[in-house]
Copies of this chain bind each other. A is one copy, B any other.
Amino acid sequence: MKAFIYIAAAATLVTLAAPASAQFAKPEDAIKYRQSALFVMSQHFGRVGAMANGRVPFDAKVAADNAEVVAAMAKLPWAGFGPGTEKGGNTKAKPEIWTEQAKFKGGNDKLVAETAKLAAAAKTGNLDDLKTAFAATADTCKACHDAFRNK
């Protein structure tokens, strides 16, 4: 599992030192920010998935480039879920994000970790590694959406 050799190097720590309220001019900006970051991430993740699932031919460079954006974007949304951002805009956020913060934070940390593995796997150029990492990342997305996002 060559992929795992790269994990230590690729994984980056996100240290959250302050509430999101300090970072955004208003709650709507925080909501728009997290939605924007997640949407950008989803577009690049979809391109990796298309290759992992065989819908488009595997191109190692394209996969690696897109997975790298996924991993970079995954670090951003957390900052947009601070206190006071429960309502506003067209948010689908469930209240559980704030009432079950430890669980939600765990989901966020898992996303960051799995997308780092995805980027590392993509760099190996091995399609099987990419498929494994893609599936693990997709499971992480789904688990959080099921628990914390309204339909």
Given A39-B36, A40-B76, A47-B23, are A3 and B17 also a contact pair (CB < 8 Å)?
Answer: yes
Smallest CB separation, A90 vs chain B (Å): 12
Q: Are A69 and B65 in contact (CB-based, < 8 A)?
A: no
Bound complex: CA A16 to CA B35 (Å): 22
A residues contacting B by CB (< 8 A) are: 2-10, 12-19, 22-25, 29, 32-33, 35-37, 39-40, 43, 46-47, 61-62, 65, 68-69, 71-72, 75-76, 78-79
A-B contact pairs, 27 of them (CB 8 A): A2-B17, A3-B17, A3-B18, A4-B17, A4-B18, A6-B14, A6-B15, A6-B16, A8-B12, A8-B13, A8-B14, A9-B14, A12-B68, A13-B65, A14-B65, A14-B68, A14-B69, A14-B72, A15-B65, A17-B62, A24-B43, A29-B43, A32-B39, A35-B36, A37-B40, A40-B40, A69-B76
